[in-house]
């Protein structure tokens, strides 16, 4: 015996309707909400631990063009460096032979990424991008890199396609 197509369609619709009606509102729940308020307990502070064995990969790229700095950006970077970085670092770590030995002929983007992701040590990434770039610009100037007409920008070839070319004078 053959069942007409229309009858099969009707029974299918009824079956689907009954199945969805049987679920009811009782089985669905509102999503859990989490709201952090100013007085919410967040747990004990976690001390910062530095891995002394951690290493940064810094490949030499002497074939890239040298990065330049824009003087106004470097001046702003000096103010940021003085106000933020000098609380933990001596200038001699970043200006002079130590910096030249560590960063000469390395990508500007490697240095920028390192300081942006790790500094300041008590709140990494808390400065604005242009403040990190200004600090990089200042360190280029302080280490006798050539001045240029454009400021460093995070999304440009001035950081990714350039190398740090500094010297001690």
- For 55-79, the pLDDT digits (tens) are 556 678 889 999 999 999 999 999 9
**Residues in Cβ contact with 56 at an 8 Å cutoff, skipping those fewer than 6 apart:** 110, 114
What's the farthest any 2 CA atoms get from each other in the chain?
101
The pTM of the full predicted model, rounded to 2 decimals, is 0.66
- For 92-143, the pLDDT digits (tens) are 888 999 899 989 999 998 899 889 888 888 888 899 999 999 999 999 999 9
CA distance readout (Å), 146 to 46, 99, 163, 168: 43, 16, 12, 13
């Amino acid at each position: 015996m053959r069942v007409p197509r229309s009858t099969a369609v009707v029974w299918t619709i009824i079956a689907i309707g009954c199945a969805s009606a049987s679920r009811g509102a009782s089985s669905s729940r509102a999503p859990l909400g989490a709201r952090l308020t100013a007085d919410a307990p967040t747990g004990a502070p976690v001390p910062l631990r530095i891995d002394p064995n951690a290493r940064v990969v810094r490949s030499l790229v002497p074939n890239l063009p040298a990065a330049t700095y824009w003087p106004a950006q470097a001046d702003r970077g000096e103010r940021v460096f003085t106000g933020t970085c000098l609380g933990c670092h001596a200038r001699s770590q970043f200006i002079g032979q130590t910096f030249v030995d560590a960063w000469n002929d390395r990508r500007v983007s490697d240095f920028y990424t390192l300081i942006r992701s790790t500094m300041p040590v008590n709140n990494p990434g808390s400065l604005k991008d242009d403040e990190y770039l200004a600090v990089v610009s200042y360190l280029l100037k302080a280490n006798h890199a050539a001045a240029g007409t454009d400021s460093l920008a995070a999304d440009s070839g001035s950081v990714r396609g350039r190398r740090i070319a500094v010297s001690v004078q």
